Structure 1
């Protein structure tokens, strides 16, 4: 059901949804515009019917001719007003978030999320250094030169640090391919229509990088591209589910204040991520949410890193999700959990905006697919977790066993190997 259908059917339910999410949207204006548009459309249809009836009669009298000229002018004016009303209504509808699935925990923010799994931290035989100190001492992380090159919130990986991230990307993609996903390497630049379809526009406009001359945008994540692959298409049911995995750089213009929360590489304007997106039949989406969450967890388990999984509450769902889970990894130096994946069931929300449908049988009525997404995983925070959980007393970094084969069998990174 589209947002407009939901609003028409039960506006109070939509108000309650907005309140539960803590969102402000122009619902009253949408209702006003829709009422005016429907009344005006009925008026235009009545005038068209009058004109059609007159045209089926004999030769018109001068009085009828005059009336038809008046009717034609009215139709033209009313149609122009109707087009303007519907355009404003449809633009404001883009600010209405997805509905909330039954059973989602009630709450205001991430502090009200429901923890469904929480591992104990690894037992370390040292007091771990923060990743920014350890990485720079090891010679694999250079934040000052990243700032010199590109500004604040950028960094450089070098030597085995760069190789470790590359190994993690290849390994995580291979895990998804083994689970039946198809790898996609999309453009890192996308169009307005694609971002509107995935619902990153207009809601996240201020956080996106845009080339105004060409009206194209840098990706905030691979999600818009993996959703938009099938924009304006009707798929065969036999081809579902469509499972995609992609690595991309991601770009976000987040306004970040100074302080502990943004020190190091935890938050940046550019970061790397492996992303999963699934297009499936509606009845299959709840199971796929569990599967995609498990695929995100699998990465941390194979790396032998502590895992926390939380079901997001109504106030932390975000704009597109009807239900979702966060997967976190433990940062021992910061003594906190870091989100490395957010798995979301978006239902038909993005499919409706992108016009992605399927037929259950030949000649059948097209239905909207359900679309889900999950990080698999975000690289910067995964690198933080590895640097802080795998550092050793001699100042070296142990390479997790799961990715050693992707680094030529290398077991550790020793101090002093890399300098610039």
Structure 2
């Protein structure tokens, strides 16, 4: 799928030459350990680098230049995966092959270089006014969590299940850590990102691998860094949850019922594909047991679904309910998992779930960014990863496999966020 080239210790270039797209996509993925402080600093840093640099000190000037480059798209994003935090710089530009003039891709590479290596400094540090502005922006993003009751309830569930754990660290950190950021500390975070982060660079498009490799080496002279070798799969040790039921109250009408489960299966576990199928049958899709029996048949939920957090070995059920009916709703949800543990799984459920997973990955592969994300996710798991092997694994899974997965899912906590009138 991608041709991988080691540029330096801890720095790898992955190129997929393809005529599937008329554009060329670039992605620089900087990875380091996830903490509240690193998440806070790096979320602000991503904003600062994107909105202001030495050549284009204002965001309108930067966006105007992108428009001149035939509508090139460029942005920075922060995210988390497992115990790691990512800053990703992405760019998408039309390929020179389809233009009457050459040099657009070279200009895009120069602009990527400017964003990374030529920030809008004042006496060697980020400008105070810009840092303050972007701190306010990230703070507002964190505060918005409290306005989205479903997101807030899920956040509280994970906090209760895994306190002081990467699973409960927000991608933007905390308000207190954002508030503590100074222009000096932000520069230290920037310097560390460039010099110490595990870095993977992706290029997708109709390009010559040798030529593009040479251009990337010349434009981005990153130094080598000491990166720990990836650890093979280790069995996860789940802690005991102190409270098995928590009810919290806010000014709201619809109850938010969130249930947390633990499983020994994680992304690196050999049974990961089996758990994907099991979750799909439990509540991952419209044909799932939760949707058909809890929502459609019993009308006990406005919405209901399950998700598998493979990075942490956790399964979640989310449901919008009438808070007064929570006991019956929980009982019905428990019954669906019990049915799977007893082996009441039809071949039709399996076939539909495999078809949905196939469609999802095929849709993702229709875009260059989707191809980058899939390869970035799976490359550490299997250097010879291919979509064909993944689909083959799904297609070979049996009812007994899914029953085993269901039996490995154990409920840890029920969390309900409801209106104050229920208190």
Asked if these proteins are the same fold (TM beyond 0.5), I'd say no
Q: Aligning the two structures, in what range does the TM-score lie when normalised by the shorter sequence?
A: under 0.3
Q: State the TM-score, normalized to the length of structure 2.
A: 0.26
